[in-house]
Structure 1
Amino acid sequence: MPGAVEQRLLDQGLRYALGLRVVVVGLSGSVGLALAAMPDRAVTAVVVTAFNGWSLLYALVMVRGGARARQWAPVADVAAVCGICLSMSWTVTPDPRGGATWVLIALNMAVVTYPWQIGGRALAAATAVIIAVYYTGATLADPGGWLVDPTLGPWTAAEAALSFGLHRFVRRSARTADRVIARSAGLRRAAEIAAARRSGEREYLAALHDTAAATLLMVGDGVVARPEPWLSAQARRDLAELHRSGGAAHGGTDLIPLLREVARHTPVRVTWAAPDTLTLPAADALSLSRGVREALANVARHAGTDTAEIRVRDDGALVTAEVADAGRGFDPARIAADRYGVTRSLIERMRRTGGRARIDSRPGHGTTVTLTCPRPAEDDGGDQEVITTSFQRGLRWAAISITLAVLTLLDLPRLLTAGAAYTALRPQLTAWAGLVAVTLVVAVATWRDRPLGRWRWALAALVFALAALATSAVRPEFRLGSAHWSEGDAGWPLVLLLMGGRVAVLVAALAAQYLMTFGQAALAGTAALSVAGAISATWAVLSYQLAIAMIAAVLRGMAVSVARAVRADERLRTSEAVARHLHADRTGRIAALAATAVPLLEGLAAGGLDPGDPDVRRACAAEAARMRRLFAGDDGPADALAHELRAAVEQAERDGVTVSFAAHGTRPDLPPRVRRRLVAPAIAALATATGRARLTVTGAGDTVTVSVVATCAPPPPVPDGDGVRRSVLADGDRLWIHASWRGEP
Structure 2
Amino acid sequence: MIIRALAWLRGVQFALWIWVPFVGDGPGRFAPQVLIGYVIAALFSAALFTVAVRRGTLSPYWLTGDVLLATVYALVISRSYAPVDAASIRNWVIPPLCGVAVTAAIYGGRYRVGAVALVVGSWVVGAWPALATSSSTELLSNSAMMLLFAGVAGKTGTLLFRASEEADRATAEAVTARGQAVRASERERHIRHLHNTVLQTLEGIAQGRVGKDLADVRRICRTEAEEQRTTALVARPDGALAPIVRSLADMIRDHPAQERLRQVRTDFDSRLPDLPAEVVEALTEATREALNNVVKYAGTDRARVTAALFGPDGVKVTVVDHGVGFDTTAVVPGFGIRRSIQAPVCDLGGQALIDSTPGEGTIVEMTWKR
| Same fold (TM > 0.5) | yes
Aligned length: 278
Say if 2:277 is the partner of 1:321: no
Partner of 1:56: helix, strand, or coil? helix
| CA-CA distance at 1:314 after TM superposition | 6.0
Contact kept? 2:71, 2:119, Cα under 8 Å: yes
Say if 2:6 is the partner of 1:49: no
Aligned pairs (5 A) from 1:215-230: 216=205, 220-221=209-210, 223-224=212-213, 227-228=214-215
**Mapped partners of 2:102, 2:155: distance in 1:** 11
**Mapped partners of 1:109, 1:143: distance in 2:** 27
| CA-CA distance at 1:83 after TM superposition | 1.9
Aligned pairs (5 A) from 1:111-190: 111-119=101-109, 121-140=110-129, 143-146=132-135, 149-190=139-180
Q: 1:13 to 1:249 in 2, by over 3 A?
A: farther
1:235 aligned to which of 221, 240, 247: 221
Partner of 2:36: helix, strand, or coil? helix
**Mapped partners of 1:236, 1:316: distance in 2:** 28
**AA at the equivalent of 1:324:** E
Say if 2:61 is the partner of 1:85: no
Q: 1:85 to 1:314 in 2, by over 3 A?
A: closer
Residue equivalent to 1:600 = none
**AA at the equivalent of 2:114:** A
| CA-CA distance at 1:167 after TM superposition | 0.6
1:197 aligned to which of 184, 187, 192: 187
| CA-CA distance at 1:51 after TM superposition | 0.9
Q: 1:295 to 1:103 in 2, by over 3 A?
A: same
Partner of 2:280: helix, strand, or coil? strand
Partner of 1:29: helix, strand, or coil? coil
Q: 1:243 to 1:289 in 2, by over 3 A?
A: closer
Say if 2:240 is the partner of 1:283: yes
**Mapped partners of 1:34, 1:321: distance in 2:** 74
**AA at the equivalent of 1:26:** F
| CA-CA distance at 1:132 after TM superposition | 1.6
**Mapped partners of 1:198, 1:232: distance in 2:** 29
**Mapped partners of 2:78, 2:86: distance in 1:** 15
1:628-665 CA-to-partner distances (Å, cap 9, x unmatched) read xxxxxxxxxxxxxxxxxxxxxxxxxxxxxxxxxxxxxx
Contact kept? 2:201, 2:210, Cα under 8 Å: no
Contact kept? 2:17, 2:92, Cα under 8 Å: yes
Listed as ranges, the gaps of 5+ residues in structure 1 are: 1-11, 252-280, 305-312, 328-364, 371-745
**Mapped partners of 1:66, 1:192: distance in 2:** 32
Residue equivalent to 2:12 = 24
| CA-CA distance at 1:77 after TM superposition | 1.8
Partner of 2:46: helix, strand, or coil? helix
1:455-503 CA-to-partner distances (Å, cap 9, x unmatched) read xxxxxxxxxxxxxxxxxxxxxxxxxxxxxxxxxxxxxxxxxxxxxxxxx
Say if 2:91 is the partner of 1:105: no
**AA at the equivalent of 1:321:** V
| CA-CA distance at 1:82 after TM superposition | 1.7
1:316-348 CA-to-partner distances (Å, cap 9, x unmatched) read 776841222697xxxxxxxxxxxxxxxxxxxxx
**AA at the equivalent of 1:28:** L
| CA-CA distance at 1:241 after TM superposition | 5.5
| CA-CA distance at 1:130 after TM superposition | 1.6
**AA at the equivalent of 2:194:** Y
Residue equivalent to 1:70 = 59
Q: 1:73 to 1:92 in 2, by over 3 A?
A: farther
Contact kept? 1:94, 1:145, Cα under 8 Å: yes
TM-score, normalization by structure 1: 0.32
Partner of 1:151: helix, strand, or coil? helix
Partner of 1:30: helix, strand, or coil? coil
Partner of 2:125: helix, strand, or coil? helix
1:689-735 CA-to-partner distances (Å, cap 9, x unmatched) read xxxxxxxxxxxxxxxxxxxxxxxxxxxxxxxxxxxxxxxxxxxxxxx
1:662-690 CA-to-partner distances (Å, cap 9, x unmatched) read xxxxxxxxxxxxxxxxxxxxxxxxxxxxx
1:216-270 CA-to-partner distances (Å, cap 9, x unmatched) read 389745533xx54x8646535645765885687651xxxxxxxxxxxxxxxxxxx
Contact kept? 1:115, 1:163, Cα under 8 Å: yes
| CA-CA distance at 1:92 after TM superposition | 6.8
| CA-CA distance at 1:123 after TM superposition | 1.7
Partner of 1:150: helix, strand, or coil? helix
Contact kept? 1:61, 1:70, Cα under 8 Å: no
Residue equivalent to 1:14 = 3
Listed as ranges, the gaps of 5+ residues in structure 2 are: 261-271, 290-338, 346-370
Partner of 2:84: helix, strand, or coil? coil
Contact kept? 1:108, 1:159, Cα under 8 Å: yes
**AA at the equivalent of 1:284:** L
**AA at the equivalent of 1:27:** A
**AA at the equivalent of 1:126:** A
Aligned pairs (5 A) from 1:265-664: 282-285=239-242, 288-296=244-252, 298-301=254-257, 320-322=279-281, 323-324=284-285
Contact kept? 1:29, 1:48, Cα under 8 Å: no
| CA-CA distance at 1:36 after TM superposition | 6.8
Contact kept? 1:61, 1:73, Cα under 8 Å: no
**AA at the equivalent of 1:83:** V
Q: 1:231 to 1:158 in 2, by over 3 A?
A: same
**AA at the equivalent of 2:221:** A
| CA-CA distance at 1:164 after TM superposition | 0.6
1:375-416 CA-to-partner distances (Å, cap 9, x unmatched) read xxxxxxxxxxxxxxxxxxxxxxxxxxxxxxxxxxxxxxxxxx
**Mapped partners of 2:84, 2:149: distance in 1:** 23
**Aligned residues: CA RMSD:** 4.6
**Mapped partners of 1:102, 1:246: distance in 2:** 69
TM-score, normalization by structure 2: 0.59
Residue equivalent to 1:413 = none
Contact kept? 2:101, 2:116, Cα under 8 Å: yes
**Mapped partners of 2:60, 2:97: distance in 1:** 20
**AA at the equivalent of 2:240:** A
**Mapped partners of 2:175, 2:236: distance in 1:** 17
| CA-CA distance at 1:107 after TM superposition | 0.8
